[in-house]
A and B are shown apart, each in its own frame.
Chain A
């Protein structure tokens, strides 16, 4: 996990978000233990109450469970639960904007299906587009 914190959210929330990202990325798998509150507080030099809050939020969201005397573990189904939430968030918050753009450009369903089949690149393969440095495309390629 990154040791840097930003000022946009409380540290406990960022800690929660990092664990969530690790679950979604498969770094933390279902049944895996979470590092102890003591270790996280010491390693990341944060107040133990902050770690407590972050972990409790994960428990409240059903992503983590406490096993008496053994520690905290990623719940079975945690990744699916997160994916479900992220999908709902996409459909509720991002999809309306995407849909409005599709309508504005007059894109047809067939064109969208072809674009989806081709993956995240220009649908016109005869005119390859060079992504500018630091553009979303280039970042995506770097990630691959």
Chain B
């Protein structure tokens, strides 16, 4: 038979283990996770004018549509540049972008209609509102150019901007600035 002293010490050890488990601090979310969570607030449908740099006349008259949705138990955001409700058509040129956290790096993979898949990684966001992605590498041929840079800027719950930079053959850059309002 075990002594009362032994049983008491065993009970105390168990209690301290439970107490430790309850008070163990939850690790603070990484900068990448904070930025990812910020981008998750953009889930929904968006529309707005586009301006190009170098400027092209008559480009901003037609609003662009895009949608963002959080999927995979919150592990990925799907960004799609097409009007919602339009049927899927494999011959269409609407690109898809996936955003996810990969080893504490907020990463973006763009599935381009040019046939390649550039990967970009976000810089630390100084104000938590602007998330800027820099090119890392690309899978597939870049013969016809590739998407090279992206910036998401959250202005408020119903307003954000996106800047996408495409690199044409010959290393010529072309930028599209989208001023997007949440669609009602």
B138 at the interface (CB under 8 A from A): no
Minimal Cβ-Cβ distance residue in B for A51: B59
Instruction: Give 6 CB contacts A-B under 8 Å.
Output: A10-B113, A37-B59, A47-B64, A47-B94, A50-B113, A66-B56
Give chain A's interface residues, CB within 8 Å of chain B: 5, 9-13, 36-38, 41-42, 45-50, 52-53, 55-57, 59-60, 66-72
Number of interface residues of B (CB under 8 A): 31
Chain A interface, DSSP helix/strand/loop, else mixed = helix
B78: CB under 8 A from chain A?
A: no
Main secondary structure of the interface of B (DSSP, over half): loop
Residues in B neighbouring A69, C-beta threshold 8 A = 57
> Does B144 lie within 8 Å of A52, measured CB to CB?
no
Total of A-B residue pairs, C-beta within 8 Å = 86
Does B27 interact with chain A (Cβ within 8 Å)?
no
Closest partner residue, chain B, to A9 (CB atom): B144
Tell me the complex Cα distance, A57–B176, Å: 14
A66 near B93: Cβ-Cβ < 8 Å: no
Query: Which B59-99 residues have C-beta < 8 A from chain A?
Result: 59, 61-62, 64, 81-82, 91-95
